[in-house]
Amino acid sequence: MTKARWLGPAALLAMVVFVVAVVWIWPPAEPSYKGKALHYWLQGYTRIVPPSFNSAPRPTESEADDAIRGMGTNAIPALLRILVYRESPLIRRLLPIAQRLHVMKVQYDPPWSRNYEAVNAFRKLVEEAAGATPELIQMYDTHPDSLSRQYIVTVLGLIGPKANEAVSVLLRAMTSTNYGIRINAAGALGKIHSDPDRVVPALMLCLNDGNPILQRNAIWSLTQFGRDAQPAVSALLQFLENAKYNPATAPVPQINNWAFELVSDPGAFGPASSDSPSVVTDAAAAALWVIDPAAAAQGQIRRPE
């Protein structure tokens, strides 16, 4: 095929790629702040380094915070869409072609990056997002991919006690085969700290899991229930014994406000995930002082600072 004959199909293909890419990438109607749409401000939370062809400065995280607060509840519907955004398989195949043909210079942010940006925006709209709890619950049940569910669970935790109607779905999330979902759910249940009769036993089961990050999340959440987590005392003592925790030589435990890990990669935390064993046992020792000081003293565990 001659060069002239080749250019015709190439130009047609390039046009198709461009049109499809624009349709899929162009954001739907969004709220704005100071004349700029939501997707611009969300770049303040991005973890993706912009390519060299896009030298336009991005907003800072502080500027993004101000914008999200300024948009308030108007941003919620768009953020819910972005939270579970998934690219079309077609656009995933066409974008590299568009870039090779130099049809368009588009910055490609993977879906998880957009999800991550939405989660960080929700951190600034905790009170405003409470009304979206029923929709988030429905989204968890209708979005089967694990990454979407990880972020949905995280946002439910960020909402806190006002998301107490999500306890049942979070308990189901605790039985997921995906570690990211379970890790986020364990922390979210502590943030909501509701229905201890059902939640505390579920968190106790995590102590026997091989994933230390899940263990640490569960222990942190148990501390949020305080005296209501009394049924977990024996399990925590057994956990320390199995870990060969020696209160005489162990450092003074710390009451840690560390909450839960934000998982962005479905395979980030598996059974072999590493975390310092001393961090987890330290958290368990501190939790005993919060839940049952008498039992902690009887176990000769040093009082936290």
pLDDT of residue 59: 93
| pTM, entire model | 0.81
Query: Which residues, listed in sequence order, are joined to residue 36 by a DSSP beta bridge?
Result: 33
CA 131/CA 182 separation, integer angstroms: 24
Q: Of the candidates 47, 71, 194, which has an alpha carbon nearest to the alpha carbon of residue 129?
A: 71
Question: What's the confidence (pLDDT) of residue 266?
Answer: 40
Contacts of 286 (CB under 8 A, 6+ apart): 223, 253, 254, 255, 256, 304
**CA–CA distance, 152 with 119 (Å, rounded to integer):** 8
Give the separation between CA 222 and CA 216, rounded to whole angstroms: 10
Q: What's the confidence (pLDDT) of residue 260?
A: 46
Residue 285 lies in a domain: no
The domain total for the chain is 1
CB of 173 closer than 8 Å to CB of 111? no
The answer to whether position 131 is within a domain reads no
Average pLDDT, consecutive stretches of 10 residues, N- to C-terminus, the chain (305 residues): 51 54 58 94 80 68 97 96 78 58 58 87 94 97 90 94 97 94 93 96 94 90 95 96 89 62 44 59 92 93 83
In a domain, 101, yes or no: yes
Find the domain containing 49 and state its range.
13-124
CB atoms within 10 A of CB 142: 9
**Does any domain span residue 74?**
yes
Please check whether residue 174 is in contact with residue 186, taking contact to mean a CB–CB distance below 8 angstroms: yes
Does any domain span residue 277? no
- Residue 91 belongs to a domain: yes
- In sequence order, what DSSP letters do the residues of 254-289 get, joined into one string? -----------STTSS-TT----HHHHHHHHHHHHH
Other C-beta atoms lying within 10 Å of the C-beta of residue 121: 28
Residue 44 is assigned to a structural domain of this protein:
yes
Q: Could you list the beta-strand ranges (E) of the chain.
A: 32-33, 36-37
